[in-house]
Amino acid sequence: MQTTKTPPRILGLYDVPMWTFLEQDRQLRLQCCTDCGTWRYPPGPACPDCLSPDSDWKPVSGQGEVVSWVMFHKEYLPEYPAPYNVVAVRLDEGPILISNLIEDPAENVIGKRVKLVPVEMDDGVVLPRFELESA
């Protein structure tokens, strides 16, 4: 278990199912349009491609590629003591998630493959984190 506090989450109407699946099943599920198959992240009321309001929460592989990252050396929130990393991961299904790598990178990680690891925090909240895949 990670020993830092969980930053406050602001749960919107459309993202509660995502967090519920992650906490209960340790599986990341994202909205997927049932009409055209477009993945929807962040979740919302209608498909950005065909405007259909119909969607289902489908599991994603949790695998992807780092498209951007940064190492923060200043503490902006007490829940994130410096230094800490933030990554943008393009999932194999297409959506980009903003998260953290479990281990701080020692080198540039853009283009590196990662896999999702659900991490339970001290307060029981489960957050989606990523780890680098072995070469």
Domain CATH code at residue 81: 2.40.50.840
**Domain interval for residue 22:** 10-59
- Please, which residues have CB within 8 angstroms of residue 112's CB and are 6 or more apart in sequence? 65, 66, 132, 133
Same domain, 19 and 42: yes
Same domain, 80 and 120: yes
Per-residue pLDDT tens digits for 76-129: 888 888 999 999 999 999 999 999 999 999 899 999 999 999 999 888 889 999
User: Do 3 and 79 touch, CB atoms closer than 8 A?
Assistant: no
Per-residue pLDDT tens digits for 37-83: 999 999 999 999 999 999 999 999 999 999 999 999 999 888 888 99
Same domain, 76 and 54: no
pTM: 0.90
Helix/strand/coil (H/E/C) assignment for every residue in 3-23: CCCCCCCCCCCCCHHHHHHHH
Is 4 a domain residue? no
Q: Which of 134, 135, 72, 76 is nearest to 104 (CA)?
A: 72
Same domain, 67 and 111: yes
Same domain, 105 and 120: yes
